[in-house]
Chains A and B, each alone.
Chain A
Amino acid sequence: GAVVSQHPSRVICKSGTSVKIECRSLDFQATTMFWYRQFPKKSLMLMATSNEGSKATYEQGVEKDKFLINHASLTLSTLTVTSAHPEDSSFYICSAGPLAEHYNEQFFGPGTRLTVL
């Protein structure tokens, strides 16, 4: 199957700083990627849809100025958490797909654990 990577796998930052998380499709091109957030013992919540070459589409309640998404190439989408606060501490997961030969699947990255002190 296709592989999606994320970097970093975990990050600890101070309150007020910005953190960038990368999502890469390693062996395929992804015109669309998705960003999710998951709090402890909770399910994944879709934050936004990232489209290559255009603005991201955010889900209701997600602040676009706080969670900046850039999808500059067909293999890379970035999520920047600006002016992070402790309540932004969470597990952030990206996904990409579908592919022509796996048109019914989404491929997920391993996630990034963000801790804001």
Chain B
Amino acid sequence: DAKTTQPTSMDCAEGRAANLPCNHSTISGNEYVYWYRQIHSQGPQYIIHGLKNNETNEMASLIITEDRKSSTLILPHATLRDTAVYYCIVKKQWGGSYIPTFGRGTSLIVHP
């Protein structure tokens, strides 16, 4: 599996955009980039995923560089409830199912 590298922690002011970077320089051509987040003492929550193109949904935007070696998750208007650990992962495939393998993630703190 491709390995990912994320900053340990970041902070952001409420209402501002939070930009969370992720490096995945060894990603292979058929591997997707996924983002999950985990609020304290809860299970992870899916945010978004992408292969090559930039993606946007109701939660966030995902910007993937042209060489696919890095990506950025953007929370356009961060709220206090976005405080969580954000995991950037590359999928591991097992018999047709996709198993997220989690690194350490980035602890995002959104402050008033």
Contacts and interface: CB of A to CB of B under 8 A. Distances in A.
Interface residues of A, number: 26
Interface residues of B, number: 22
Contacts of A93: 43-44
Interface stretch (A14-22, A73-81, A99-107): A99-107
B41 A111 contact: yes
Interface of B is mostly: loop
B68 interface: no
A104 B103 contact: no
A98 B43 contact: no
A107 B36 CA distance: 10
B43 A32 contact: no
B99 interface: yes
Contacts of A107: 46
A49 B43 contact: no
Contact of B99 (A49, A110, A111): A49
Interface string B96-110: 011111111100000
A91 B102 CA distance: 15
A108 B44 contact: yes
A108 B45 contact: yes
Given A43-B103, A43-B104, A43-B105, A108 B43 contact: yes
A111 B92 CA distance: 22
B26 to A, nearest CB: 19
Q: Which 4 A-B pairs have the closest CB atoms?
A: A108-B43, A44-B102, A43-B102, A108-B44
